[in-house]
Amino acid sequence: MPPFSYPMHVFLPFCLILLSGSLISCESQVEQPDPLDREEYRTWTSFLGDKSATQYSSLDQINVDNVHELEVAWTFSTGDLVEGERTEIQVNSLIIDGVLYGTSPLKKAFALQADTGELIWMFDPFEGQEPRSRGVNRGVAYWSDGEGDNRIYYVAGSRLYSINADTGEPSEDFGENGSLDFAIGLDRDALDISVTATSPGIIHEDLLIYGSRVFNRAPGHIRAFNTRTGEIEWVFRTIPYPGEYGYDTWPEDAWTRVGNTNSWPGMSLDEERGIVYVPVASPGHDFYGGDRIGKNLFGTSLLALDASSGERIWHYQFVRHDIWDYDPPAAPNLVIIERDGRTVDAVAQVTKTGYVFVFDRETGESLFPIEEVEAPPSDLQGEETWPTQPAPVKPEPFVRQRFTEDDISDITPGAHEKLLERFREIRTDHMWDPPSTEGTLIFPGFDGGAEWGGAAFDPETGILYVNANEMPWILEMVPIDEEGEEPVSRGERIYALNCAACHGADRAGDPRGGLPELTDVGERMGDDELRDVIKDGRGVMPPFGHLSNDEVDALVNHLKDPEAPVTDPVQIDMSRAPQVLYTHTGYNRWFDPDGYPAVKPPWGTLNAIDLNSGEFVWTIRLGEFEELTERGIPQTGTENYGGPVVTAGGVLFIGATQDEKFRAFDKQTGDLLWETDLPAGGYATPSVYEIDGRQYVVIAAGGGKMGTKSGDTYVAFALPEQ
């Protein structure tokens, strides 16, 4: 490990911790070993490095002095590129006993020799079916009984699989011959809901605790499965039932019909205390809550649950009655920091809005003051916003939260005036401006601030590293039906409720965001192919298996001929409340005429925040548009997806950027130490590990986001062999 060279105010608290374990004085604290000696920091056995989601490695063979010598140690191609189909790999690989575990763009699980990339086995959950990627996956969970029963778990499509980690064969004693319907335990008819998972579950003893990604208003309950049998051991209902804590923050019947409030980004676990920390998403529908008036616990919250029983210990709600889709985007980091002269075991949650909330792990008490800011009311029919929202005083936001006329980009000739004209048409006054029919500016954006790649925490210094986006979006609401208006067709109604949120009311989509235009889909696809895509999903599109055959036929007819005369009218009864009265025109990034973000740079950043003091250490721009650099424009940063890892060698590694590069930075200063081109965008969090004394860093180069090409490759780097 290189000598420490941080400023004394950064290191002093941690030097004291390292010199004297007796300084842990808070009565609620569990005695901790020297954090730098923890074995999990030398391995990568859980999603994001360890069950604390630290994204840190204590390996230091690769360091600030030699990182520029890195070379490709091996590459592995999954063979899953599908012509004409956009796919991604967002996987954070596990490395256990010299074996790397990951998944492919088409959701095959595999095991590789971690020092050579040689394939050991591959499991295809969709063998014999037409290749379709069925969404994205970010990794697997690993469990062992210590006596030779070693398994990995992941969700592909709508099923949860248990796979023998040594052979790649399904575990016959788990569920039905190695898999189970992932909708079980959600207390609603599985035929009417669609549920999967993008992030892996987390293991506590013999429990596999899972969140989910849900569709069609499916509930997002947190479930714990038995690792051997798949039987459900406990369920925590994120939309409370009658008599449960938080029930009075919803309409009386919300538990029977409202969906989402799911946990999609992954969790963290304090194994000694037996507490699992669960970030919970916003309720559905994302941008209209007239049918769910109230604070809506546990939507957009952090939950601390007893990992053995699922009982609530504490919670904190980041957004009350969320109608902005500002759900926590990443697994929370379990950290050890200095506060008021004592060490505190804390949990830090990064957010899309750019806030970092820091709580005592046991009590949920905030370690920095939190203020209440006023939030404007809504003028949408039936909507009632919550009057205030919480804002921590420290750390300060790591992104801009306000977009004024002075922030309108002038990076390309003629762009400013066109952007200014549109800016003056929409609502831009406040980060908490509610959705509206004229359009509301969403900034820092639906995709952050922080995103699902997570933040990295350095236990040497107490510094949190988080990459961020500053991309404006325009959210425009559209009434679904209005009393007295001519009724719409059944297919148009189904499209508005199921498809418009992604592809837009005008079917224009967002090709740069991986959401294809549908205006000509009837010419590109036959009826049977359209039906298959709707029912089974394709690319990053989920399956809509909850739709009946008649509903699918009605939707196909509407997609092929949206102007056809209405022969199957559907008219909403406005006297029946509550109703979902609005959809929206889609997820619309706001670009200038040349395709660059409408806000002045930076568009992507990397930030170092000292959690001991709440102060920033440094901020840099992350990513580059080379064509702008060649014009003499300073580095702008780019949108970025996938998180950083930080090491004891003084190095921070990150891919994530739209320019498809992999970079190493000096964690002390933010200086760039090394960069290389990847075969496709590295939109995943890398993993760091050691085999036979040689240190490696591996990243999935799956591409497919922000209009970049798709890839199917894992790339591992190491120093030249001696």
Q: What is the tens place of the pLDDT at every residue in 435-469? A: 999 999 999 999 999 999 999 999 999 999 999 99
Classify each residue of 190-216 as buried b or exposed e, where b means 16 or more C-beta atoms within 10 Å of its C-beta.
beebbbbbbbbbbbbeebbbbbbbbbb
Q: What percent of the chain has pLDDT over 90?
A: 73
Measured CA to CA, the distance from residue 452 to residue 683 in angstroms comes to 10
Measured CA to CA, the distance from residue 620 to residue 389 in angstroms comes to 29
pLDDT reported for residue 189: 63
Are β-strands 301-306 and 312-317 bridged in parallel, bridged antiparallel, or unpaired?
antiparallel
pLDDT(328) > 90: yes
pLDDT reported for residue 545: 67
- The gap from C-alpha 185 to its chain's centroid, in whole angstroms, comes to 23
Question: Between residues 415 and 177, which one has the greater pLDDT?
Answer: 177
pLDDT(29) > 70: no
Measured CA to CA, the distance from residue 328 to residue 369 in angstroms comes to 19
Lowest mean pLDDT segment, chosen from 28-37, 574-583, 687-696:
28-37
pLDDT reported for residue 42: 87
pLDDT band at 19 (very low <50, low <70, confident <90, very high): very low
For domain 481-571, give the fold: Cytochrome Bc1 Complex; Chain D, domain 2 (1.10.760)
Question: Between residues 82 and 486, which one has the greater pLDDT?
Answer: 82
Helix (H) or strand (E) holding 551: helix 549-560
Measured CA to CA, the distance from residue 56 to residue 34 in angstroms comes to 15
Instruction: Decide if 636 contacts 625 (C-beta within 8 A).
Output: yes
pLDDT reported for residue 198: 95
pLDDT reported for residue 431: 94
Q: Which residues are CB-neighbours of 77 under 8 A, at least 6 positions away? A: 712, 713
Go through the chain and tell me how many residues it has: 722
pLDDT(21) > 50: no
The pair of structure tokens assigned to 345 is 């075991």
Classify each residue of 572-587 as buried b or exposed e, where b means 16 or more C-beta atoms within 10 Å of its C-beta.
beeeeebbbbbbbbbb
Q: Which residues are CB-neighbours of 438 under 8 A, at least 6 positions away? A: 425, 426, 427, 476
Tens of pLDDT, residue by residue over 662-700, are 999 999 999 999 999 999 999 999 999 999 999 999 999
pLDDT reported for residue 671: 98
pLDDT band at 487 (very low <50, low <70, confident <90, very high): low
pLDDT reported for residue 388: 98
Average pLDDT, the chain: 89
pLDDT reported for residue 501: 67
pLDDT(606) > 80: yes
| Domain extent listing, the chain | 11-476+592-718, 481-571
pLDDT reported for residue 23: 32
Measured CA to CA, the distance from residue 712 to residue 168 in angstroms comes to 20
The pair of structure tokens assigned to 236 is 């925590």
How crowded is residue 361: how many other Cβ atoms within 10 Å of its Cβ? 25
pLDDT reported for residue 45: 96
- Tell me the β-bridge partners of 235: 223
Measured CA to CA, the distance from residue 670 to residue 438 in angstroms comes to 41
pLDDT reported for residue 570: 63
Whole-prediction pTM: 0.90
pLDDT(573) > 80: no
pLDDT(514) > 80: no
pLDDT reported for residue 505: 72
Tens of pLDDT, residue by residue over 201-246, are 999 999 999 999 987 678 999 999 999 999 999 999 999 999 999 9
Backbone φ and ψ of 23, nearest 5° = -80, -5
| Nearest partner of 606 among 650, 634, 646, judged by Cα | 646
Question: Between residues 525 and 227, which one has the greater pLDDT?
Answer: 227
Query: Tokens 């549109």 appear where?
Result: 422
pLDDT reported for residue 5: 35
The pair of structure tokens assigned to 56 is 């840190």
Backbone φ and ψ of 513, nearest 5° = -95, 10
Tens of pLDDT, residue by residue over 54-77, are 999 999 999 999 999 999 999 999
CATH 3.40.50.300 at 11-476+592-718, yes or no: no
Lowest mean pLDDT segment, chosen from 257-261, 504-508, 519-523:
504-508
Measured CA to CA, the distance from residue 449 to residue 353 in angstroms comes to 5
